[in-house]
Amino acid sequence: MSDPIKNRYEFVILFDVENGNPNGDPDAGNMPRVDPETGLGIVTDVCLKRKIRNYVETVKEDEAGWRIYVKDGVPLNRSDAEAYKALDVDEKTVKEKKKADPDLDRKIRDWMCANFYDIRTFGAVMTTFVKAALNCGQVRGPVQLGFARSVEPIVPQEVTITRVAITTEADAEKKGTEMGRKYIVPYGLYRCEGYISANLARKTTGFSEEDLKLLWQAILNMFENDHSAARGKMAVRELIIFKHDSELGCAPAWKLFGAVKIARKDPADTAPARAYSDYAVTVDEAALPAGVTCTRMG
């Protein structure tokens, strides 16, 4: 792995959905998440991180140093046990060995960071006390995402569907179709803001320039290998990156995020937006503080 990153970053992800459910709410029958006070659509940080993890897993295919810790079908303790085995400790001897080696906790944490991309990136809680007292520590990752919110209020629609495949023999004698429902957002443009701390990368996880390059690639392509009928047509439209010329940064994040403006191309248009082309996205680069540069990808 290369050296940890040396620059702080903030970034804005713009993605949209067409005739799909970008993030179902299990507390509301899997309807698209909505802020009840504003009507704005919501996509959680956990949902977006899952897409990024899935992309990395797809392109790296469990390559050494690029594995994914939080993945479907793999208990966390299975990966925790690998760190213990690599450092020649187990649940029964770990307490005694920690007394003999005060740096053992750090070595276990560092092994996990070196082997799992998503721990290096997002961090992880690796402290589990179920039957096996496997404790690999807790890591706060340098990359953090906020909730994505739609630019304008959304109106989730309930669509009734039918199918000709009947579930049981008894039902087949009574009817020829079965009814179902799905929820969609006809169109929504979402904005997500994120942060990358070079300080945490250096001190804790070792998140590197190579890791950063893969992160940008994963964000831009996180929906491209994740299409489904339920999610409809989803795409990352633009990734706007603010790079500081120092580890701790040159300006507050809110000032940089405030430089990104999204508005209707036609201010007089009151019809519901139905395409990305209905919007104009601008960045006031002239107002950026000294030491900050902006890159637009998409």
What average pLDDT does range 251-267 have in this prediction? 96
Rounded to whole angstroms, the Cα distance separating 236 from 196 reads 19
For the stretch 53-99, pLDDT in tens is 999 999 999 999 999 999 988 888 889 989 999 998 888 888 888 88
Which residues are CB-contacts of 45 (< 8 A; sequence separation ≥ 6)?
A: 144, 145, 146, 147, 192
Of 125-134, 176-185, 193-202, give the lowest mean pLDDT range. 125-134
Q: What is the pLDDT of residue 116?
A: 97
Judging by beta carbons within 10 Å of its beta carbon (0-12, 13-18, 19+), is residue 90 exposed, middle or buried?
middle
Residue 46: pLDDT band by 50, 70, 90 thresholds? very high
Say yes or no to pLDDT of 176 above 80: no
For the stretch 288-297, pLDDT in tens is 999 999 999 9
Count Cβ neighbours within 10 Å for each residue of 251-268 and write b for 16 or more, e otherwise: bebeebbebbeeeeeeee
Mean pLDDT taken over the chain: 93
Of 68-72, 112-116, 129-133, 280-284, give the lowest mean pLDDT range. 129-133
Q: What is the pLDDT of residue 200?
A: 97
Structure tokens at 54: 């899935």
Structure tokens at 110: 């560092």
Rounded to whole angstroms, the Cα distance separating 178 from 105 reads 56
Full DSSP string of 40-88:
EEEE-HHHHHHHHHHHHHHHHTT-TT-B-SS-TT--HHHHHHHHHHHTT
What average pLDDT does range 208-223 have in this prediction? 98
Query: Is the separation of the CB atoms in 250 and 289 below 8 Å?
Result: yes
The one-character DSSP state at 205 is: I
Say yes or no to pLDDT of 44 above 80: yes
Residue 170: pLDDT band by 50, 70, 90 thresholds? confident
